[in-house]
Amino acid sequence: MAGSFFVDPATVAVAQPTKNGDGTRPHVAVVTGAAGWLGQNLVRALVGTRDRIRVLVRTDTDAALLELLDRAVDPVVGDLLDPVVVDRLFDGVAGASVFHLAGVIHPAARVRELYDVNVGGTQLVLDRARRAGAGRLVHVSSNSPFGANARPTDRFTETSPYHPYLAYGRSKMEAEQLVFRTHGRGDLEATIVRAPWFYGPFQPERQTTWFAAVRRGRFPLVGDGTQQRSMAFSANLVDGLLRAEVAAAAPGRAWWIADAEPYELRHVIATVRAALAAEGLPVSGGQPRLPRLAGVVAERVDRTLQSTGRYSRLSTCSAS
């Protein structure tokens, strides 16, 4: 996005965990999006702490990858939007914690997919978790429902109003609203963790492609590169998810998990280049720049295309 996004570290969740009636966390966890970037980190953190980890993945290859981690991992293969698949996911998991990570950031071609998966999929998970008698649901959201800060000194807090960025931001906003309504009706105990840009192991191909572009000096900065971004290490996000699972203050609220201070985009890119060089990879090229107007134009083109139902990535950064 063209503007800056950062959160107030004073508002990041630090509530102390509570315990279940038997003095432990639930013995069963359910994870959607388990083969994704954050999902793989979470499943690895759950291994050794749960008797069963029921995971939703899209392919048999993903299932085999996670099954190798531990005998407790119990994959369900299929589509989040298939009610039969989601019924299997929630079969026999009464009392389980549910971590809903599945979502679409960059659809193949149509904006509709964002709403189908991020909103419709969330509604299906909430419904089936309620029917199954699951315990607390932790929903992973994003910074995109809140757009960009108006001034460099501004900070998002837990009570900041929605100002969604393009269709992805609107879809994640609507998903949050579903979670809040479900909790408010007393249907299911639920909480939300809002993740900013994150970094860490098991990154997807799109992130590897971005690193390659930065390494070769082909990723342009828009303007002077002083736009700020909040970021988080994936392991810290996982710690936040596990704390949200049990913290007494968590239900019915949303929490930011982020590093203590935001980073200027130019410093992010410089750090990535330095880290790649330290790993012995060739780093070439300079730092191409585009005028800030180019970012404004790209965003307007995106808005126009998305208003017709088509999706493009002109103004979206692949590091998000």
CATH number at residue 191: 3.40.50.720
Please report whether residue 320 resides in a domain. Answer: no
Domain residues for the domain of 125 are 9-203+230-262
Instruction: For residue range 217-261, list pLDDT tens digits in order.
Output: 999 888 888 888 899 999 999 999 999 999 999 999 999 999 988
| Per-residue model confidence as pLDDT tens digits over 80-92 | 999 999 999 999 9
Identify whether 294 is part of a domain.
Answer: no
Q: Give the gyration radius of the chain's Cα atoms.
A: 20
Q: Give the H/E segment covering residue 31.
A: strand 28-32
Average pLDDT value for residue range 185-193:
97
Q: Rounded mean pLDDT of the chain?
A: 88
| Residues 129-172: tens digit of each pLDDT | 999 999 999 999 999 999 888 777 788 888 899 999 889 999 99
pLDDT of 21 strictly over 90: no
Q: Is residue 4 part of a domain?
A: no
Q: Answer whether residue 305 is part of any domain.
A: no
**Residue 135 located in a structural domain:** yes
Say whether 78 sits in a helix, a strand or coil.
coil
Give the tens place of pLDDT for each residue, 261-278.
899 999 999 999 999 999
How many domains does the structure of the chain reveal? 1
Residue 131 lies in a domain: yes
Q: What share of the chain is helix, strand, coil (3-state, %, to 5)?
A: 40, 20, 45
pLDDT at 15: 39
Q: For residue 74, is it within any domain? A: yes
pLDDT band at 25 (very low <50, low <70, confident <90, very high): confident
Strands (E), 153-302: 190-195, 197-199, 221-222, 228-229, 231-233, 254-256, 263-264, 289-290
Residue 152, in any domain of the structure: yes
What mean pLDDT do residues 20-44 have? 86
Q: Is 262 helix (H, G, I), strand (E, B) or coil?
A: coil
